[in-house]
Amino acid sequence: MSSYLCAIGTANPPHRIPQLQIADFMANALELDEGGTRKLRALYRVSGIAHRHTVLPDYARANGEFEFFPNTPGLEPFPSVGQRMAEYRRHALPLSVQAVRACLEQLPEVEVRSITHLITVSCTGMYAPGLDLELVAALGLPSHVQRTCVNFMGCYAALNGLKLADAFCRATPGARVLVVCTELCTLHFQKSPEDDHLISNALFGDGSAAVLVQDRPAVTGPSLALTAFHCDLEPDGHADMAWHINDFGFEMTLSSYVPRMIQQGIGQLTQRLLADLPVQLADIHAFAIHPGGRKILESIEQALGLTAYDNRFAYQVLRDYGNMSSATVLFVLRELLRTLTPADAGAPVLSFAFGPGLTLESMLLTVAYEDAENEQNEVKVENVAAHA
């Protein structure tokens, strides 16, 4: 039995800020000299990002107009973890609700009360009672909905959420699983000139994505069968991508060696994912790769023989939103879904995401339609799933 990703809804905060305007904020906050500012702006220009969204309007303002950061030289006293978590709790629920509604409006046959499982995913904030319980109340979900929280796993966590959804659907006939990934990365700006912090400050944005997974395709439009998963580790990268809670927010370690490590490990990861399946890499022409950064995408292309066109959905999301941690790969899948037609039924889709560890996650999906004329393609989905 297969499970199917039937719809994806997304949402972003209203503050959409050009990348170079954020660079100016950062240069002022870090009190950089002219040379340092020039280098920082160069980093932002080559990032592949045009805009990012944030819950904090301060990134588009000058000192003296801030709402969250202190209107003082050096932004002192710098906001504490508690202050940042208060902002997370203020913004996470409405953004998540917006993403869920954007998802469910695509599926008029799905009633909110029919959802059996709720999975919330985040690494940028936490509290209890948490976002999961608030979503139950805000959406009118049944009080007995089964809730699971995937916390602090980083950019690859959406794939873990989908693994859980797949397991629930396979174990419970008629299950309908709502997965909600909400990340407010910009709350965790670190006022530090260290390379790791300069890179992470240049990449991350805020966003939410919600998906509905069930044991049958959507009534209309394309669905994606969750066909196979494989996870691996690159232990040499243990210290090169990390996420720690410190006194002034969550601190990201993201070294310049990460793209090279992913390039070294991605080929073996793909081989192991496809090893027992009747699908070869040459058979795959649709990709949904987490855009951790421009160099990461380029490294994967070099390792797997892909083109920038193969990665076009990832580049589009990176350009328009930046890296939104766990939600990002779902934004990429949304862009891919929008291009599918019944002629694509049965086609394989390869997806990757990466995070602390260094963790490499992979997923094979298969395009599916419920239409009777595509019954033959549905058999193809089941045949691939039988080998998973």
Report the catalytic residues: 155
CA distance 331 to 315: 11
Distance CA 378, CA 242 (A): 41
Give the amino acid at 19: Q
Nearest alpha carbon to residue 350 among 260, 271, 294, 265: 271
Residue type, 102: A
**Token pair in block for residue 330:** 């779902």
From 179, 229, 151, select the one nearest 10 (Cα to Cα). Answer: 179
**Of 313, 322, 332, residue with least CA distance to 183:** 322
Distance from C-alpha of 9 to C-alpha of 16, rounded to nearest angstrom? 18
Main-chain phi, psi angles of 106, to 5 degrees: -80, -10
∠ CA 216-221-225 to the nearest 5 degrees? Answer: 40
Residue whose structure tokens are 């509290």? 127
CB neighbours (10 Å) of residue 350?
23
Residue 144 phi, psi (nearest 5): -95, 10
Specify whether the CB–CB gap between 378 and 368 falls below 8 A. yes
- 164: Cα separation from own chain's centroid: 16
Of 166, 361, 367, 386, nearest to 272 by C-alpha is: 361
CA distance 122 to 181: 6
